[in-house]
Amino acid sequence: MSVDLILGLQWGDEGKGKIVDFLTNSYEIIARFQGGPNAGHTLEFDGIKHVLHTIPSGIFHSNVQNLIGNGVVIDPVIFKKEIENLDQFKIDLYSKLLISNKAHIILPTHRILDAVSERSKGKSKIGSTLRGIGPTYMDKTGRNGIRVGDIFEKNWEVKYNMLCKKHMNIINSYKNKIEFDLNKMNKEFFDALEKLRKFKVINTQFYLSNAQKSGKKILAEGAQGTLLDIDFGTYPYVTSSTTTAAGACTGLGIAPKDINEVYGIFKAYTTRVGSGPFPTEINGRDGEIMAKAGNEFGSTTGRARRCGWLDLVALKYAIQINGVTQLIMMKGDVLSGFKKIKICTSYDTEENLADEFPFNLSKNEILPKYIEFPGWQKDITNINSENELPKEFIGYIKFIEKELETPIKIISVGPDRKQTIFR
Distance CA 103, CA 123 (A): 33
Helix spans in 71-181 (H):
76-86, 93-96, 108-120, 133-141, 156-173
Q: How many CB atoms sit inside 10 A of residue 410's CB?
A: 18
Query: Which residue out of 4, 21, 41, 114 is catalytically annotated?
Result: 41
Whether 370 contacts 330, CB under 8 Å: no
Distance CA 412, CA 397 (A): 12
Whether 112 contacts 167, CB under 8 Å: yes
Element (H, E) at 395: helix 391-404
End-to-end CA distance of the chain: 25
For residue 58, what are the CA distances in angstroms to 18, 279, 336, 372, 395?
Answer: 10, 34, 30, 38, 33
SS3 at position 358: coil
Distance CA 56, CA 66 (A): 6
Active site residue 13: yes
Rg of the chain's alpha carbons, rounded to an integer?
Answer: 21
Whether 149 contacts 74, CB under 8 Å: no
> DSSP for 43-62?
EEETTEEEEESSS-TTTT-T
Distance CA 100, CA 72 (A): 9
| Residues, the chain | 423
Query: Which residue out of 4, 13, 286, 333 is catalytically annotated?
Result: 13
Contacting residues for 383 by C-beta, under 8 A, at least 6 apart: 389, 413, 421
For residue 226, what are the CA distances in angstroms to 41, 223, 229, 245, 287?
Answer: 16, 9, 5, 9, 23
Active site residue 167: no
Task: Give which of 34, 41, 94, 57 is closest to 253, Cα–Cα.
Answer: 34
Instruction: Kindly list the catalytic residues.
Output: 13, 41
